[in-house]
Every structure is written in C-alpha cells, then in structure tokens.
Structure 1
Amino acid sequence: MRKVIVTEFLTLDGVYEEISPWRQDYHPDDGPFKRDELFGSEALLLGRVTYDGFAAYWPTATGAFAERMNSLPKYVATTTRSTLEWNATPLGGDVASAVHGLKRQEGGTLLVYGSGTLVQTLLRHGLVDELRLMIFPVVLGQGKRLFADGDMLRLTLRESRDLGSGVLLLTYTPAGDLQARA
C-alpha cells in the first residue's frame, strides 16, 4: 500500500496561500530535506493551481532535482481539465476515491507539495499518512489557512528539525481524520 506524504509551507497562523511573498525574507537550509523527499517518492500528487505553477517552471529547469521532478508521474486534482501535459494524469471529480485507489496500488510514496485545498480534502478523508509542516516565523493575519475555523485534527509529532532562519520542520502523523467541530 502506498503512502501519501504532504509537505506544506505555513505561517505561524496557519496560512498556506502566498498572498504576499512572505517566504522571501527567510532562507532555511531545506535543500537536503527537499532533495531527499523528492528522490524518495515515486509520484507527485498535486492540486491544479500548484500543477499549473510547477508545469510552467520545471520543464525548462536543469539539474538533477529538475530531472527528477520532470520524470516523476503526476496526478492532478482538477475538475477543469481532462488532459494534461508534463507526465500528468487528471484525477477527475471524486478526488478522494481516486487517491484511495492510488494508495491501494503497489508502489512508493505519493508526495504532495503545497496544494492546500487538495490537502484539506485528503485530511478529511483520512488519506494522509504523514504531514510535514515547514513553519515560517511570520504571522499574516489573513489568507487561506490549512485548518479552517472549527476544524479538529489530532496529530502525533514524529520529528522536529530546525532548518535555520527561524523555520521549523514539524513532521506529524494524523491520529484520525480532519473533522469539523459542531
């Protein structure tokens, strides 16, 4: 059974959306971590907005990281596209069922970069095996948050790592599904 591993950049107040270039002032030493997770994965699982950004950049990039990024199969949560380029397959309307099917297949890790809306769906359906949160020391006070008001998710901390520049990498395993509290 394949695992779904999520990596998300977050502010201290849980914002994942880049409404301003809030990450540009921080220079964490995350290169080895990002390289290890990419090379340790067998496929990428992406939301459509993340896919669009990546597909605009990576096909023309060079180097070992770019080669690996370009060679991996990509599964994209989209309801607006029936065909994709860049070695990508659309998941269609029922993302949770599609990802559940991918997890049942033999093979390695499915890596999710960013893709906050997709991650929320995966968490609500208990499809995330590991959640890697890169927490940046900034509070925005507005923007899309990974966990909405009323969401509850129990997590078990597996590892914490200081990446420098005040950025922490916190690795969790969910101890249940994301649930909206009544």
Structure 2
Amino acid sequence: MRKLIVTEFLTLDGVYEEATPWQRDYAPDDGPFKRDELFGADALLLGRVTYDGFAAYWPTATGAFAERMNRLPKYVATTTRTSLDWNATPLGGDVVAAVRDLKAQEGGALLVYGSGTLVQTLLRHDLVDELRLMVYPLVLGRGKRLFGEGDPLRLALSSARDLGSGVMLLIYEPDRSARTDG
C-alpha cells in the first residue's frame, strides 16, 4: 500500500492560499528537505489549480529538481478537464475512490503539493498518512485556511525542525488510536 504525503506552506493562522507573495519575505533553508521529499516520491497528486500553475512553470525549468518533477507521473483531481498534458492523468468525478485505488497499488509515496481543497477532502476521508507543514511566522488574518470548520482532526507530531528565518517544519501523522467507530 502506498503512503500519501501532504506538504503545505502555511501561515501561523493556517492560511495556505497564494503562498508565494508572503513567502518571499523569508529565506528558510528548505532546499535539502524539498529535494529529498520530491526524490522520495513515486508520483504527484495535485488539485487542478496547483496542476495548472505547476504545468505552466516546470516543463521549461532546468536542473535535477525540474527533471524529476517533469518525469514523475501526476494524478490530478479535476471534474472540468478530461485530458491533461505534462505526464498527468485526470482522476475524474469520485476523487476519494480514485485516491483509495492509487493508495492500494504497489509503489512508493504519493506526494501532494499545496492543493488545499483536495487536501481538505483527503483529510476528511482519512486518506493522509503524513502531513508536512512548513509554518511561516506570519498571521495574515484572512485567506483560505487549511483547517476550517468541521470534524476535529487528531494528529501526532512525529518531528519538528527549524528551517531558519522563523520557519518551522512540523511533520504529523494521523492519531488513529483515539478514534472510535461510534
């Protein structure tokens, strides 16, 4: 069974949208972590908006990271696109079932970059095996939050690392020991 890993850039108040403008004010030493993360995955799982942004940039980028990004198969959660470029496959209407099928296959980790709406769905359906949060020391006070209203989510911290510039890498796994079936 494949492991599903989510990696997100977040502010202290949980905002994930449009990370790039506020990220520019910080210079964490995240290169080795992001490289190891990408090279440790066998495929990418992306929301359509993240896919569109990545597909516009990565095919013309150069270097080992770009080559790996371009070679990996990509699975895209979309109900509006039936065909995709850039080594990508649309998942279609029932994303939860499609991701369950992907996880059941043999192979290495599925890596989700960004894709907040998709991640919320994956979390709600207990499909995430590891949540890697790069938390920036910033409170925006507005914006799309990764953790909104809904069912509580119990997590267990598996590691924490200071990446510099006040940015913390927090790695969580679902705490399934506290769940009940009632």
Normalised by the length of structure 1, the TM-score is: 0.95
Number of the residue aligned with 2:180: none
Residue 65 (str. 1) matches residue 65 (str. 2)? yes
Number of the residue aligned with 2:100: 100
Deviation at 1:149, TM superposition (A): 2.7
* SS across alignment from 1:152: coil
Residue 125 (str. 1) matches residue 125 (str. 2)? yes
Deviations 1:16-35 (A, max 9, x none): 00177111100100000000
Number of the residue aligned with 1:154: 154
Number of the residue aligned with 2:81: 81
What number of residue pairs does the alignment pair up? 177
Contact 1:19 1:143 in 2 (8 A): no
Moved over 4 A (4+): none
Distance 2:14 2:83 in 1: 33
- Structure 1 gap segments, 5+ residues each: 177-182
* SS across alignment from 1:22: helix
User: Comparing both structures, which one devotes a greater share of its residues to helix?
Assistant: 2
Q: Describe the shift of the 1:169–1:54 C-alpha distance in structure 2 as closer, same or farther (beyond 3 A).
A: same
1:1-182 mapped onto 2 (5 Å cutoff):
1-18=1-18, 21-176=21-176
Q: Describe the shift of the 1:20–1:2 C-alpha distance in structure 2 as closer, same or farther (beyond 3 A).
A: closer
Q: State the superposition RMSD in angstroms.
A: 1.3
Distance 1:26 1:86 in 2: 30
* SS across alignment from 2:118: helix
Deviations 1:120-175 (A, max 9, x none): 00001110000000000000000000010344100000000000000000000012
Aligned residues with identical type, % of pairs: 80
Distance 2:38 2:20 in 1: 26
* SS across alignment from 2:21: coil
- Aligned letter for 1:139? V
